[in-house]
Amino acid sequence: MPSSRPTKPPCLHLIPGTVRVLFLVCLDHAASVMTVPPPRFLEGLRAATDLLGFHGLQREEDRLDELLPWAGAV
């Protein structure tokens, strides 16, 4: 069953700093933040772009109560 929620395209936001660089990775309805010191900026960028390669759910699983309607009566 397709999700009724619209999916957002993946995005990456960079927040530079002198002590830490923040990488905010947004995928569908979830977000992750990675931090690295400025000298390791390229490593952080590589990891953040690798995260962007993941996509949301490939397929949604049926809820357990829909699969086993009798399970609650046991």
* Residue appearing with tokens 């933040």: 33
Q: Is the distance from CB of 36 to CB of 54 less than 8 angstroms?
A: no
Q: What pLDDT is stored for residue 29 in this prediction?
A: 76
User: For position 54, what pLDDT does the model report?
Assistant: 77
Helix (H) or strand (E) holding 31: strand 30-36
More confident residue, 15 or 3: 15
Distance CA 43, CA 54 (A): 18
Answer whether residue 50 is part of any domain: yes
| Domain of 49, in residue numbers | 11-73
pLDDT score, position 35: 95
Q: How many domains does the chain have?
A: 1
- Specify the pLDDT at position 53: 82
6 within some domain? no
Q: What is the amino acid identity at position 4? A: S
- Is 5 inside any structural domain? no
pLDDT digits (tens, 9 = 90+) for 18-65: 999 999 998 877 888 999 999 999 999 999 998 888 765 555 665 655
pLDDT at 1: 45
Q: What phi and psi, each to the nearest 5 degrees, are found at residue 41?
A: -55, -45
Please, where are the H alpha helices in 2-40? none
